[in-house]
């Protein structure tokens, strides 16, 4: 468990007193303050981060967030913003005794312009709820992820979530137009940044500072962004591939042949397929096992046209011997079965007991080499070394599992001169240094949070780090917002 081992408590922060609780109850009402049974707010989805916070606040509006942050700033109380608490790096979990500011009750305002496709809503809306609302207008959210049933749009913006459609619709940078944020200063300043229109080049694009800001700069209470037309025809196919090089060839061909209708290109290796079968009883849809499987999806507006493209693509893959097996979903139930495999991968690995999760970007020529390097390095100490991910975005999720947290898996002792032993770290920082040395990023989409804090300087110029710190000081002069994390 990572809790609180990385950074000592900052003793400049005050501890919550009874008078603070009374003040919060005064401006939020008794139902806006929770002191007991808060473990679902102090533990993350993986169970690896456990914080020591003892208070959860539930504001219902931007004004209430403003009142909380003004009070906390004046009284030097540290605060951690929390959305759906599905983040995978411990960013939403208090490290010491920070107050948890839950966004669960800020989900009233929803407006949608179905001509321009512009959505404006409160930050506490759950992603799937928004998507269902947009469906009634023939639109959908421009991104999708396995945690859609619990994560919130504010949390998605704060993590710059990627997911399974980025190859088609781009990152959230392509969609964010405006945010309302509350700053952790003594006024609890409310800023409306950006605008509610599609094009506006009149100032710096300040809303984008909040994309991937991990609750470091301010609390996002409202979001304006573009949605995309909901496709009328969606085709999914699972492909069996013998080598990673061929997977890359398939990707290249998918981009050229499926072109404007290509909407997902997801990757699973045989180790995660085995894990899905053993741990969740989910069986592959391909007839025979292959080292690699690819889930490709097209989304368009004309079923005949899209199906024709997909079928021609599959024929070409077979004739060029790029795949050895391919199954085209004949119904939405078939497609759901394929997606269930991909979306259950994060859950399947947790069932081994303990999982070392990695989320890195790499140029494709190093993408799977990392898996092979780590397999070799971990040997029999790991229960499994599995990889799935968003291959079309160069984003790999390498997961190394073990029945429980295993120090030997993290560290490696090498004898240099008996009896002198040299301690080498088997997994960290080796893995992240390897990623940076191969031109990658140590976090493609999950962020830094607590998990990657010790390595967050890797691959970043000192000037960029300094600039980031200066920005943090402008937004959060007392440093009370989400301390001990990314910045
Ligand atoms: P939280 O976990 O509550 O918070 C995440 C961070 O954002 C924290 O630092 C928190 O302080 C901050 N924050 C939250 N809300 C606000 C706010 N309103 N204002 C300011 N700061 C805020 N991520 C991907 O990118 N792609 C995936 O494909 C993906 N798949 C996932 C699948 C599963 C099964 C799970 C469990 C997670 C997955 N994730 C994925 C990670 C996670 O779902 C995303 O990071 C998500 O965007 C987090 O949203 P949340 O509301 O749960 O935020
Ligand atoms: C995914 O793509 O499934 C998510 O990012 C979660 C994970 O990495 O396990
Ligand atoms: Zn992912």
pLDDT tens per residue, range 89-136: 999 999 999 999 999 999 999 999 999 999 999 999 999 999 999 999
Tell me the best of 47, 127, 146 to mutate to test the pocket of ligand 2, counting ligand atoms within 8 Å of each CB and taking the most: 146
CATH assignment at residue 275: 3.30.70.2190
Q: Are residues 117 and 198 in the same domain?
A: yes
Which DSSP state fits 454?
A: G
**pLDDT for residue 312 is more than 70:** yes
Please state the rounded mean pLDDT for residues 476-485: 97
Question: What pLDDT, on a 0 to 100 scale, did the predictor assign at position 6?
Answer: 61
With a 6 Å cutoff on the Cβ, whether 159 touches ligand 1 is yes
**pLDDT for residue 279 is more than 80:** yes
Measured by CA distance, the residue closest to atom 6 of ligand 2 is: 346
Q: Ligand 1 centre from 124 Cα, in Å?
A: 12
Tell me the best of 91, 158, 165 to mutate to test the pocket of ligand 1, counting ligand atoms within 8 Å of each CB and taking the most: 158
With a 6 Å cutoff on the Cβ, whether 219 touches ligand 1 is yes
Q: Are residues 361 and 304 in the same domain?
A: no
Measured by CA distance, the residue closest to atom 26 of ligand 1 is: 163
Among candidate residues 208, 229, 250, the one where a domain is terminated: 229
Q: Specify the ligand 1 atom closest to the Cα of 161.
A: 25
With a 6 Å cutoff on the Cβ, whether 151 touches ligand 1 is yes
- Where in the sequence is the domain holding 408, given as residue range(s)? 352-447
pLDDT band at 188 (very low <50, low <70, confident <90, very high): very high
Q: Quick check: is 23 in a domain?
A: no
Question: What pLDDT, on a 0 to 100 scale, did the predictor assign at position 2?
Answer: 47
Q: Quick check: is 42 in a domain?
A: no
Question: What pLDDT, on a 0 to 100 scale, did the predictor assign at position 426?
Answer: 82
Q: Are residues 325 and 297 in the same domain?
A: yes
Question: What pLDDT, on a 0 to 100 scale, did the predictor assign at position 4?
Answer: 41
Tell me the best of 155, 350, 388 to mutate to test the pocket of ligand 2, counting ligand atoms within 8 Å of each CB and taking the most: 388
- Separation CA 276–CA 270 (nearest Å): 10
**pLDDT for residue 5 is more than 60:** no
pLDDT-wise least confident of 127-136, 255-264, 394-403, 417-426: 417-426
**pLDDT for residue 414 is more than 80:** no
Measuring CA to CA, which residue among 227, 276, 254, 250 is closest to residue 116? Answer: 227
- Containing 354, the helix (H) or strand (E) segment is strand 354-357
Please state the rounded mean pLDDT for residues 299-327: 97
Tell me the best of 129, 147, 476 to mutate to test the pocket of ligand 1, counting ligand atoms within 8 Å of each CB and taking the most: 147
End-to-end CA distance of the chain: 21
Measuring CA to CA, which residue among 427, 278, 412, 282 is closest to residue 353? Answer: 278
What's the pTM?
Answer: 0.96
Q: Are residues 156 and 210 in the same domain?
A: yes
Ligand nearest to the CA of residue 141, numbered in listed order:
1
Cβ-contact 433, 440 below 8 angstroms:
no
Q: Are residues 395 and 435 in the same domain?
A: yes
Q: Ligand 1 centre from 274 Cα, in Å?
A: 27
Q: Are residues 370 and 325 in the same domain?
A: no
Three-class DSSP category at 261: helix
Q: Specify the ligand 1 atom closest to the Cα of 486.
A: 9
Q: Are residues 117 and 199 in the same domain?
A: yes
Please state the rounded mean pLDDT for residues 22-34: 97
Three-class DSSP category at 389: strand
**pLDDT for residue 340 is more than 90:** yes
Ligand nearest to the CA of residue 393, numbered in listed order:
3
Q: Quick check: is 24 in a domain?
A: no
Q: Are residues 222 and 248 in the same domain?
A: no
Among candidate residues 345, 369, 388, the one where a domain is terminated: 345
Q: Are residues 259 and 361 in the same domain?
A: no
pLDDT band at 1 (very low <50, low <70, confident <90, very high): very low
**pLDDT for residue 424 is more than 70:** no
Question: What pLDDT, on a 0 to 100 scale, did the predictor assign at position 71?
Answer: 98
pLDDT band at 224 (very low <50, low <70, confident <90, very high): very high
pLDDT band at 88 (very low <50, low <70, confident <90, very high): very high
**pLDDT for residue 413 is more than 60:** no
- Separation CA 167–CA 199 (nearest Å): 23
pLDDT band at 410 (very low <50, low <70, confident <90, very high): confident
Domain count, the chain: 3
Q: Quick check: is 136 in a domain?
A: yes
- Percentage of the chain with pLDDT > 90? 92
**In degrees, to the nearest 5, what angle opens at C-alpha 350 toward C-alphas 444 and 92?**
55
**pLDDT for residue 237 is more than 50:** yes
With a 6 Å cutoff on the Cβ, whether 145 touches ligand 1 is yes
CATH assignment at residue 368: 3.30.70.2740
Q: Ligand 1 centre from 17 Cα, in Å?
A: 30
- Separation CA 21–CA 30 (nearest Å): 10
**pLDDT for residue 421 is more than 70:** no
- Percentage of the chain with pLDDT > 70? 96
Q: Quick check: is 280 in a domain?
A: yes
Q: Quick check: is 158 in a domain?
A: yes
Q: Ligand 3 centre from 445 Cα, in Å?
A: 7
Measured by CA distance, the residue closest to atom 49 of ligand 1 is: 155
Q: Ligand 2 centre from 468 Cα, in Å?
A: 27
223: phi then psi, degrees, rounded to nearest 5: -135, 135
CATH assignment at residue 132: 3.30.465.10
**pLDDT for residue 418 is more than 90:** no
**In degrees, to the nearest 5, what angle opens at C-alpha 194 toward C-alphas 193 and 196?**
115
Tell me the best of 49, 57, 83, 121 to mutate to test the pocket of ligand 1, counting ligand atoms within 8 Å of each CB and taking the most: 83
Q: Specify the ligand 1 atom closest to the Cα of 106.
A: 18
**At a CB cut-off of 8 Å and minimum separation 6, what does 15 contact?**
97
With a 6 Å cutoff on the Cβ, whether 400 touches ligand 2 is no
**pLDDT for residue 210 is more than 70:** yes
**191: preceding bond cis by omega (within 30 degrees):** no
Average pLDDT, whole number, for the chain?
Answer: 95
Measuring CA to CA, which residue among 477, 420, 451 is closest to residue 357? Answer: 451
With a 6 Å cutoff on the Cβ, whether 88 touches ligand 1 is yes
Q: Are residues 249 and 221 in the same domain?
A: no
With a 6 Å cutoff on the Cβ, whether 346 touches ligand 2 is yes
Q: Ligand 3 centre from 462 Cα, in Å?
A: 28
| Number of CB atoms found within 10 A of residue 126's CB | 20
Q: Are residues 313 and 376 in the same domain?
A: no
Measured by CA distance, the residue closest to atom 6 of ligand 1 is: 214
Q: Are residues 332 and 254 in the same domain?
A: yes
With a 6 Å cutoff on the Cβ, whether 397 touches ligand 2 is yes
With a 6 Å cutoff on the Cβ, whether 165 touches ligand 2 is no
Q: Ligand 1 centre from 459 Cα, in Å?
A: 23
Question: What pLDDT, on a 0 to 100 scale, did the predictor assign at position 3?
Answer: 42
Q: Quick check: is 61 in a domain?
A: no
Q: Specify the ligand 1 atom closest to the Cα of 87.
A: 2
Q: Quick check: is 438 in a domain?
A: yes
Among candidate residues 163, 196, 229, the one where a domain is terminated: 229
**In degrees, to the nearest 5, what angle opens at C-alpha 393 toward C-alphas 257 and 398?**
125
């Amino acid at each position: 468990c990572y809790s609180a081992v990385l950074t000592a408590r900052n003793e400049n922060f005050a501890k919550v007193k009874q008078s603070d609780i009374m003040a919060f109850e005064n401006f939020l009402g008794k139902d806006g303050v929770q002191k007991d049974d808060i473990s679902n707010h102090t533990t993350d989805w993986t169970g690896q981060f456990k914080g020591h916070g003892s208070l959860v606040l539930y504001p219902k509006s931007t004004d209430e967030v403003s009142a909380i942050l003004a009070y906390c700033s004046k009284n030097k109380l540290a605060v951690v913003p929390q959305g759906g608490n599905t983040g995978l790096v411990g960013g939403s979990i208090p490290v010491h005794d920070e107050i948890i500011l839950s966004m669960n009750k800020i989900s009233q305002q929803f407006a949608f312009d179905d001509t321009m496709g512009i959505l404006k809503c409160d930050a506490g809306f759950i992603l799937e709820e928004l998507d269902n609302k947009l469906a009634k207008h023939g639109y959908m959210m421009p991104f999708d992820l396995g945690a859609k049933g619990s994560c919130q749009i504010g949390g998605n913006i704060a993590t710059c979530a990627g997911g399974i459609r980025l190859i088609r619709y781009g990152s959230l940078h392509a969609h964010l137009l405006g945010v309302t944020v509350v700053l952790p200063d003594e006024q609890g300043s409310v800023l409306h940044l950006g605008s509610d229109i599609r094009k506006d080049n009149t100032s710096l694009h300040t809303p984008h500072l909040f994309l991937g800001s991990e609750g470091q700069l301010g609390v996002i209470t409202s979001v304006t962004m573009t949605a995309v037309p909901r496709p009328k025809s969606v085709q999914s196919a699972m492909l069996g591939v013998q080598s990673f090089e061929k997977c890359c060839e398939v990707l290249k061909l998918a981009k050229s042949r499926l072109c404007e209708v290509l909407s997902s290109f997801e990757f699973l290796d045989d180790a995660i397929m085995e894990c899905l079968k053993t741990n969740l009883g989910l069986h592959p849809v391909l007839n025979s096992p292959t080292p690699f499987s690819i889930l490709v999806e097209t989304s368009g507006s004309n079923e005949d046209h899209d199906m024709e493209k997909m079928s021609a693509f599959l024929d070409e893959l077979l004739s060029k011997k790029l795949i050895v097996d391919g199954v085209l979903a004949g119904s939405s139930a078939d497609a759901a079965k394929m997606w269930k495999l991909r979306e259950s991968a994060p859950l399947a690995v947790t069932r081994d007991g303990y999982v070392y999760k990695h989320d890195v970007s790499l140029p494709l020529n190093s993408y799977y080499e990392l898996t092979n390097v780590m397999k070799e390095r971990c040997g029999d100490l790991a229960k499994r070394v599995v990889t799935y991910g968003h291959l079309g975005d160069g984003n790999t999720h390498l997961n190394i599992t073990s029945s429980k947290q295993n120090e030997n898996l993290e560290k490696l002792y090498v004898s240099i001169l008996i009896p002198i032993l040299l301690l080498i770290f088997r997994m960290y920082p080796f893995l992240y240094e390897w990623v940076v040395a191969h031109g990658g990023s140590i976090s493609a989409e999950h962020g830094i949070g607590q998990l990657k804090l010790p390595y967050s300087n890797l691959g970043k110029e000192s000037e960029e780090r300094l600039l980031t710190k200066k920005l943090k000081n402008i937004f959060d002069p007392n440093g009370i917002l989400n301390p001990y994390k990314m910045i």
